[in-house]
Chains A and B, each alone.
Chain A
Amino acid sequence: MNSTFGSFEIGRRAIHLQQKGAQVTGQNIANANTEGYARQVVHMKALVPPAVPGVVTPPGYGAAVSDITRIKSEFYEDQLRKSLTALNYWEAREETLAGIEIIFQEPGESGLNTYLSEFFDAWQELSVNPESFATRISLREQAVTLTSMVRNIYERMDDYRFDVLKELEAELNRVNSLAAEIAELNQKIVYLNALGKKSNEMLDERDLRLKELSELIDIRVIQKPNGSVEVLVGGRILLHDDRYFKLETRLNEDTGEVEIYNELGAKVIPQGGRFLGLVEAYNMVLPGYQASLDELVFYLVKEVNELHRKWFGLDGSTGIDFFDMPDEDFTIGRASLNFRVSRDILDNLSKIAASSGDSEPGNGQGALEIAMLREKLVMEEGRSTFQDYFRGLIAQLGVEGRESQRMSLAIKTVAEKMEEQQESIAGVSLDDEMLNLIQFQHAYNAAARYLSILDRMLDLLLTELGR
């Protein structure tokens, strides 16, 4: 037996349903340009009347919203996060290397290559004109320029390292605050889940935060059945449900390296992201170039002084160091910072030892031998000259820089592809939404018409039949 007003019920549900559809479409259109927003789709289902024995089943109850879901690919999201981690690592590395390139100013007229060359040229010049004070002045000025240039490069790398450390600390704060936000979102999502409710927007928000986090550091995201996510950083837990564990930087006194620990005291070793780029810059890249410079300076000072001490100045002085040798046991470590022309030479040009014999003002053999150090295979256990070594250093810088540029370009393409794929799935297409809107409009119109026809049917029944 059919209920008289049962058909109205179907109409009412239909109107509500199409309104809901239009509403979700509206939400999609409104968020067409919202970052991280995944389009939502209304799932409708036909309502099935309960099967009661002995009762004639009506044809249907109409339809209702079964679910409003976000359309998004977890796979692409995960891939995107991974490629962002890699991309940001390479970009940070590229930045560091570009910074070092700027500091070295090679190739160019004002780089160390030129100054080294001019330093040896000045000795050559002195070997030709050992009596000339003008030549001595020019040699001294060349040497002073060379030493201050090296010190300047070294100090600028020190400054750069300090800046990196500051940035590292700032980025760490961002990681910590992102972890805090995600943990809070976790809590809300789990709570809503328990109530059987659902917030697609919160999920979007959480995805967005996870994406930001993945740019900074390599993360592993584990989806939990209760709707929360667990995040691991460098194999250590960063957040779990509504709890998160802060990261902090520590400077290792022995190695001078920066290390990262979590709140629980476990050492976290980042494997990617901007973070790794910065940690590497601080621990390896910058100190590496500084150490190479130190080595160059150490051997230059050693070789030049060794010869210079053997020779004689215009005033008969001998055994004088050309460059400062600060200690008895002069070491490579941070030799560049102490790279200076010795006081003796600065105070008295006659002490520049050009002569291989005493009281031989026209003898430039000593200077010539020092000039010939340019050709001597001193560096890398006697495999290269000073300039070869330095050029090798710059070439290495170039190769590393180029590698990181290429890597970041390649990974950027991958990341863009991933983003495009995700956009293709989750992005709002205005055309689609317009079509949907028209669809809902028509369904709404039809449902309204259905009600009005039902109304007329009832009207006919009640007014015409009862008369």
Chain B
Amino acid sequence: MRVTHRMLTQSVSRNIQRNLRMLEKRSNQLSMGRLFDRPSQDPVGTYKVMKITGTGLKRIEQYRRNIGEGISWLTITEGALAEAIDVLQRLRELAVYTANEIFAPTDRRMVAPEVEQLLHHLIGLGNTELTGLYIFGGYQTQSPPYKVAGVAGHLLESWINEESGIVQGGIEVENFATGTYAISTEAGISGPKEAQVTIISQYVQGARENFFGTAEIKVSIISENQEKDLDKSGSVALEIVEKARFSELSLEGEEYKGWEENDLIVRLSVRYYLYSLEGEDNYLEGHYGLRKGEEIYLNLNRLLEEDQQFSFKINSEEKINLTVGKSEGLTFEGDVPLVGDKVILKLKAALPDNGTYDRFSLHKVYGKPGEEGYPLAGETMDWFFTNGFLNEKIPVFKFFDLDKRTGELFTSSIAVKFDQLSTATLEDLPAAIFSFVAPGDPYYVGDSGRRLVEITPGNTLAINVTGEEAFDGVGLFQLVRSMHTALIQNDQHALQKEIIEGLDYHLEKLLKYRSEVGARMERLNVTDERLHVEHIYLRELRSKVEDLDLAEAITEFMMQENAYHAALATGARMIYPSLIDFLR
């Protein structure tokens, strides 16, 4: 073949180009640290890397995050269950201890406060939180799953939505429950007998003893006389009080009169948070606080007779006297001795000794009228306060009973003025009130939702235990309540049998769930370990596919560099000479 100089230059330039291309590819790889960064450089490798990264590594990382979350849930659950087991063991000790015959009834009663404390502790455990979520509520994680049923709702700053007929406002939720409430009416007055109260939604802030929140509730009136109040159905407040003399009511600026002469009025009640009032239920009209010199209407339970005098004390200075009909029957006297951090308040209940006597009781926990623990007229009773009082506030005691069978509610409240109160360093009246008022039936508002998380493809595991499972819904709490009752009522037999058996049953159940939680944690740990190994393996695999062997790459780079230099050198020598150089 004939070879021209142009061919030589072209082939030299081609060779140099080829060498440069290789050098560029290698130096790219070296600077990236990877073998390829485009699919066309290695389609199969690209596919593998995308699969390893996209569905392998990323997913494993997510599973491991899920497992981490699961472990924290189960750890908290385990802690709560362990603590509940401790409490139960303590309760069992107390039960065994007090079931002994040598125990005096009064001594049994002395144990009751501890049991009550333990009950509250248990309920608190049932309301265990993890980063603001209540872990025993099933899917209902945003509000405490355990609530204590109260009897009247205490609305704070409430108002009625005229369109929907919904009462909206703040509510002291712990004391409030969905249910049917009886409406007190005076004999001979026609009108609604019951109000259906439904909690639509509620939001509670703060700890148990110092909570505040808002709730939306719906109140509808169930009437015997449908045509009369049909239009008002669903638009009334919590309490319906007797019209009596206080026929004027201001509600959202609108004046409400009775629907008919001599009928009931519907009233929105505001219960003041600080309990600065002394007297009946502290119901104030409207939405406003009571100011100095202001006059308010006080709506009273029918149990209070005419001419009864109530005094209001505001800021412990001024007194407002209000005379309401007769004043007889209810007198209280009290003093406040301090025993350790517990206050024992002696109340002498001089209950009205008339026909209405059987329509209310002092406290549900303490039994039915006439039963032990229930103060009869003229009796003096010890009340246990587990928290102190606010020293400048006047405590208000509310007596109530809710007859589950008929759904009838009876309430009465008595304010007690303590002359020596200022000498006692008592604080936190609201808490005292609640400990007094609260022990209604605890109830469960959680559900049986199992919080499943995926831990490996297609495999899920529940990271929660619901209150239904762990505490038998409210079974455990009811048992402790009945233990409390048994102690108060000196029911040695119940303590010996049902209570101890029940406690054993629940202990076993809690132990079972605790070990199950342990087993689930173990499974999570094992899975996590396996995922971790898999992650490492996949990373290695990816590294094999896409990572550059640096030593090899640098060696090759240098070899190619040499080849390039050689091509340059030979090229230079080949191009240079021609015949012309040798002709003269």
Residues of A near any B CB (own CB < 8 A): 32-33, 97-98, 101, 104, 106-108, 111, 113-114, 116-118, 120-121, 124-125, 127-129, 131, 355, 357, 359-365, 368, 371-372, 374-375, 385, 387, 391-392, 394-402, 405, 416, 419-420, 423-425, 427-431, 434-435, 438
**Bound Cα distance A399, B46 (Å):** 10
A316 and chain B: residue at smallest CB distance: B201
**Bound Cα distance A107, B41 (Å):** 11
Q: Which of B52-60, B250-258, B357-365, B508-516 lies at the interface?
A: B52-60
Q: Which 9 A-B pairs have the closest CB atoms?
A: A401-B40, A398-B39, A398-B43, A360-B139, A362-B141, A427-B4, A363-B139, A362-B139, A395-B47
Interface bits B120-139 vs A (CB < 8 Å: 1, else 0):
00000000000011000111
Q: Which listed residue, A33, A128, A435, touches B453 by the CB 8 Å rule?
A: A128
B51 and chain A: residue at smallest CB distance: A391
- Nearest-neighbour CB distance to chain B for A97, whole angstroms, equals 6
B333 at the binding interface (Cβ < 8 Å): no
Interface bits B434-459 vs A (CB < 8 Å: 1, else 0):
00000000000001010111100110
Contact A420 B10, beta carbon cutoff 8 Å: yes
Contact B457 A402, beta carbon cutoff 8 Å: no
Q: Which listed residue, B1, B54, B464, B579, touches A391 by the CB 8 Å rule?
A: B54
User: Can you add 14 more A-B contacts, CB < 8 Å, to A364-B451, A428-B4, A438-B583?
Assistant: A104-B39, A121-B59, A128-B70, A131-B133, A360-B138, A362-B133, A362-B138, A374-B55, A374-B59, A391-B51, A394-B50, A397-B43, A401-B38, A423-B10
B573 at the binding interface (Cβ < 8 Å): no
Q: Which of B61-69, B104-112, B177-185, B387-395 lies at the interface?
A: B61-69
**Bound Cα distance A372, B4 (Å):** 69
Q: Which residues of B lie under 8 Å from residue A117 when comparing CB positions?
A: 53-55, 58-59
Contact B53 A107, beta carbon cutoff 8 Å: yes
Contact B40 A97, beta carbon cutoff 8 Å: yes
Contact B55 A360, beta carbon cutoff 8 Å: no
- Nearest-neighbour CB distance to chain B for A368, whole angstroms, equals 6
Q: Which listed residue, A394, A420, A438, touches B7 by the CB 8 Å rule?
A: A420
Interface bits B454-469 vs A (CB < 8 Å: 1, else 0):
1001101000100000
Contact A424 B3, beta carbon cutoff 8 Å: yes
**Bound Cα distance A409, B4 (Å):** 25
Q: Which residues of A lie under 8 Å from residue B453 when comparing CB positions?
A: 127-128, 364, 368
**Bound Cα distance A365, B546 (Å):** 37
Contact A106 B6, beta carbon cutoff 8 Å: no
Contact B2 A360, beta carbon cutoff 8 Å: no
Q: Which residues of A lie under 8 Å from residue B59 when comparing CB positions?
A: 117, 120-121, 374
**Bound Cα distance A310, B54 (Å):** 28
Q: Which listed residue, B6, B11, B55, B61, touches A428 by the CB 8 Å rule?
A: B6
Contact A395 B44, beta carbon cutoff 8 Å: yes
**Bound Cα distance A375, B459 (Å):** 12
Q: Which residues of B lie under 8 Å from residue A127 when comparing CB positions?
A: 452-454
Q: Which residues of B lie under 8 Å from residue A392 when comparing CB positions?
A: 47
Q: Which residues of A lie under 8 Å from residue B53 when comparing CB positions?
A: 107, 113-114, 117
Residues of B near any A CB (own CB < 8 A): 1-7, 10-11, 14, 36-44, 46-47, 49-51, 53-55, 58-59, 61-63, 65-66, 69-70, 132-133, 137-142, 447, 449, 451-454, 457-458, 460, 464, 546, 578-580, 583
- Nearest-neighbour CB distance to chain B for A427, whole angstroms, equals 4
Question: Which of B4, B10, B141 has the most C-beta atoms of chain A within 10 angstroms of its own C-beta?
Answer: B4
Contact A402 B43, beta carbon cutoff 8 Å: yes
Contact B69 A129, beta carbon cutoff 8 Å: yes
A395 and chain B: residue at smallest CB distance: B47
Contact B2 A424, beta carbon cutoff 8 Å: yes
- Nearest-neighbour CB distance to chain A for B187, whole angstroms, equals 42
Contact A33 B6, beta carbon cutoff 8 Å: yes
- Nearest-neighbour CB distance to chain B for A130, whole angstroms, equals 8
**Bound Cα distance A425, B37 (Å):** 43
- Nearest-neighbour CB distance to chain A for B179, whole angstroms, equals 19
Given contacts A131-B133, A398-B42, contact A391 B6 (CB under 8 A): no
Q: Which residues of A lie under 8 Å from residue B449 when comparing CB positions?
A: 357, 360, 362-363
Contact A360 B579, beta carbon cutoff 8 Å: no
Given contacts A124-B454, A362-B138, contact A434 B580 (CB under 8 A): yes
Question: Which of B4, B39, B41, B142 has the most C-beta atoms of chain A within 10 angstroms of its own C-beta?
Answer: B39
**Bound Cα distance A131, B138 (Å):** 13
- Nearest-neighbour CB distance to chain A for B28, whole angstroms, equals 14
Contact B62 A124, beta carbon cutoff 8 Å: yes
Q: Which listed residue, B14, B137, B546, touches A107 by the CB 8 Å rule?
A: B546
A-B contact pairs, 18 of them (CB 8 A): A107-B46, A113-B50, A121-B59, A121-B61, A124-B66, A128-B65, A128-B453, A362-B133, A362-B139, A368-B460, A387-B55, A400-B40, A401-B39, A402-B41, A424-B3, A427-B4, A429-B3, A434-B579
